[in-house]
Amino acid sequence: MKKIKDYLQLMKPSLSIMVVFSSVISYLLAPKIVEYDWGRILLLFAGGMLVTGSANAINQVVEKDTDAQMKRTAKRPVASGRMSEAEGWTFAVVTGAAGVFMLGWYFNWLTAGLAAFSLFLYAFIYTPLKKVNSIAVLVGAVPGALPCLIGWAAGDDKLSTGGWILFAFQFFWQFPHFWAIAWVAHRDYSSVGFKLLPADEGPTKFTALQAIVYSLILVPVTMLPFFTGMCSYDDVQGMIALGLIILANLFMIGRCVALYRKMDVPSARRVMFGSYMYLPVVMLAMLLSKVVMD
């Protein structure tokens, strides 16, 4: 049981589920998906979990020394010494390969290729870049948003406008979300040399202002599905969905403005948890208002 628990911890299940959630909803939003095939949904979920778990495992192996120095990560299996680097790498390779193969075999090889690219970018570019420059957050936002394209490609067999809109939504969402996390954990992160905030001085007005800017960018991005015919507000469901998206955006902007005004960790934590609520609300609202093609 302890070994199973270590493998689960290596995969970061809570983070992985959130990532795969975006992929599944994007799949369901694809115009070709008119009925829910729960078998295929579970296959997409499983393949996504394996690929995301692999990326998280590589991250923990590569950052084992760094993790060991931070209180919140010191008990991770590789950092604590409960699991060897070789075992961690073996787990990552097996799960990554299995996940990519599943997505290619049961869906299409475009989906598999996007998943493999996302894994590579996160594990081998973003992860080491965190100690080099804060541009790591920009680079990391790409694999962070690719699950939307992966899900869309699985459902539509190509990369069309709707997939890119969802990619843009999750791409821009990550900035206030991740900067809030970096703000809350700034002491830990800076002690090991991570450069994740846009200002070298750490949590500043500039960082809070950037969070506001990106939360404002999300407003037109979340309206795009309604202007491109992907979603509709012509019926009651659509009007409810549009209302939910508007309220979610106001909520997110409000939390970022509060951070700018108060400049404290509790406000940053509210942005962080608020962003966790914002993402599923907006995506589920889009699904509620999806235009079903005849």
* pTM assigned to the model: 0.93
Q: What is the pLDDT of residue 188?
A: 76
Q: What is the pLDDT of residue 294?
A: 43
Q: Are 184 and 202 in contact (CB under 8 A)?
A: no
Q: Which residues pair with 231 in a beta bridge?
A: 290
Q: Where are the chain's structural domains? A: 1-159, 161-294
Q: What does the block give as tokens for 119? A: 């894994």
Q: Which of 57, 67, 59, 55 minimizes the C-alpha distance to 193?
A: 67
Residues ≥6 apart with Cβ < 8 Å to 280: 21
List the end-to-end C-alpha distance of the chain, in Å, as a whole number: 50
Q: Convert 231-242 into a string of H (helix), E (strand) and C (coil).
A: ECCCCHHHHHHH
Q: What is the pLDDT of residue 292?
A: 66
| 199, 176, 170, 167: CA torsion to nearest 10 | -30
Q: Are 186 and 197 in contact (CB under 8 A)?
A: yes
**pLDDT by residue, tens only, the chain of 294 residues:** 777 887 788 888 888 888 899 999 999 999 999 889 999 999 999 999 999 999 999 998 888 888 778 777 778 888 888 888 888 899 999 999 999 999 999 999 999 999 999 999 999 999 888 888 778 888 899 999 999 999 999 999 999 999 999 999 999 999 999 999 888 887 877 777 777 777 677 788 999 999 999 999 999 999 999 999 888 888 888 899 999 999 999 999 999 999 999 999 999 999 999 999 999 999 999 999 987 654
CB atoms within 10 A of CB 121: 18
CB atoms within 10 A of CB 33: 20
Name the CATH superfamily for 1-159.
UbiA prenyltransferase (1.10.357.140)
Q: What is the pLDDT of residue 172?
A: 97
CB atoms within 10 A of CB 128: 12
Residue 255 half-sphere exposure toward CB, CA atoms < 13 A: 25
